[in-house]
Amino acid sequence: MTQLEYARKGEITPEMEYVAKTENIDVEKLRKNIASGKVVIPKNVHNNTLPTGIGKDLHTKINANIGSSTEMEDINVELEKLDILLKYGADAVMDLSTGPKLHEIRKAIRDKTNIPLGTVPIYEAGVETTSQDKIIVDMDDDTIFKTIINQAKEGVDFITVHCGITQDAIKAVDDSERLMGIVSRGGALTAAWIMHNERENPLYAEYDYLLEICKEHDVTLSLGDGLRPGCIHDATDIAQIRELTTLGRLVKRSQKAGVQVMVEGPGHVPITQVKANMQIQKTICSDAPFYVLGPLVTDVAPGYDHITAAIGASIAGASGADFLCYVTPAEHLCIPNKEHVKQGVIASKIAAEVSDITKQIPSTMKREYDMAVARDNFDWEKQFELAIDGETARKYYESTSTSDEEMCSMCGDFCAIKMVKDHEKANKN
């Protein structure tokens, strides 16, 4: 059975107990949230994935994407990226490989870590199709579903499937005033397949079959936002909302079938629309966990999109988003390198911390309190320990020496905290 089915029967699984302990939440409260579809634990039955809860009343989680492309493929490089995202605290990883060694890369990732692993199966189905000297839109239904079955048997914990890209959705895009059309890679591939074959999306038309596969292996569905806006101009348009309403119906079908499900959210959104987007999704999708890419709140910062995404993600998380997909500085420009991965994870960790302060997560509030105490006491070691990136904090602090360990070179003798403390000491004497 799936975690959702156990929860609905009133049974508490070892995975629920583990999540409740790590999140410091009552296990019965957690079970009820899973039973209602407000929390998922992506954990395939075939492996020992670390139980990780995503959703209501839990810490905001972050995902980091890695993987090869047709232009660049090196397993060792991808594993080095994996080491970095693990070091800096990613809660899940998605392998988005599209190169010929994608099977080897996914296995290597699975062998090296037990955090939840996600994929976009249609990528592999596309690679399989082109390897047979066919064009990618000539992939058949069997290839798509066989890929999902094989990945489920391998132990993939969650999959992104663009079930909301339908013939009606494509028409909505055609009738819209979008500047950039469809920017999701999986969404565009699905749309191209529909138009080429003049048939409905198999993942939508045969959704019940998809649910059977996921239920057997307890694979969590991540319903992809194939019509997410690719620029500020296209945000929150009719096409985006049309797809979201379709996903809302599919969420209910998933939950009824006992399949865990979460929903992916928009890409580029003005800061004034971020909160509304979160509220619309939660309403339409029955409070299913929301997995957001950014959102990016401006289009004009290539090279710094980890920052634009962190701004949007902070507001999104504070407004109800549960799972943040990192964005690296290389977004829109190139396949990310190790430093890009580091910067992307750290930016997302900051956004998650901001979100959890708003959600008043107890352990987050204690961490913030402890940092304030450490700063007031000039306890540098404690500050480095609590910092999201303690290594960089230490490096900056030690880059210039001071004559007094109770201050840094920023203010020197004019340190506000030190001046007051020195004055208090003098008055006591």
Whether 424 has a pLDDT exceeding 80, the answer reads no
* pLDDT of residue 237 exceeding 90: yes
Answer yes or no: do 353 and 421 share one domain: no
Which residues, listed in sequence order, are joined to residue 95 by a DSSP beta bridge?
66, 119
Question: Does residue 239 sit within a domain?
Answer: yes
CA 86 – CA 103 distance, rounded (Å): 21
Residues 6+ positions from 247 with CB-CB distance below 8 Å: 163, 164, 223, 225, 263, 284, 285
- Residue 318 confidence class, pLDDT cut points 50, 70, 90: very high
**Residue 25 in this model has a pLDDT that exceeds 80:** yes
The model's pTM: 0.95
Domain boundary among the residues 358, 387, 415 is at 358
Angle at 192 between CA 186 and CA 195, to 5 degrees: 140
In a domain, 295, yes or no: yes
The strand ranges marked E within 247-322 are 261-264, 290-293
pLDDT range class, residue 404, cuts 50, 70, 90: low
Q: Is 51's pLDDT higher than 90?
A: yes
Q: Is residue 12 part of a domain?
A: no
Tell whether 6 is covered by a domain.
no
Domain shared by 345 and 209, yes or no: yes
d(CA 195, CA 252): 27
How many domains does the chain divide into?
A: 2
Task: Measure the CA–CA gap between 53 and 42, rounded to whole angstroms.
Answer: 8
Clarify whether residues 100 and 240 are in a common domain: yes
pLDDT at residue 412 in the model: 75
Burial of 114 (0-12, 13-18, 19+ CB in 10 A): middle
pLDDT over threshold 70, residue 304: yes
- Are 347 and 414 contained in the same domain? no
Write out the residue range of the structural domain in which residue 106 sits: 54-358
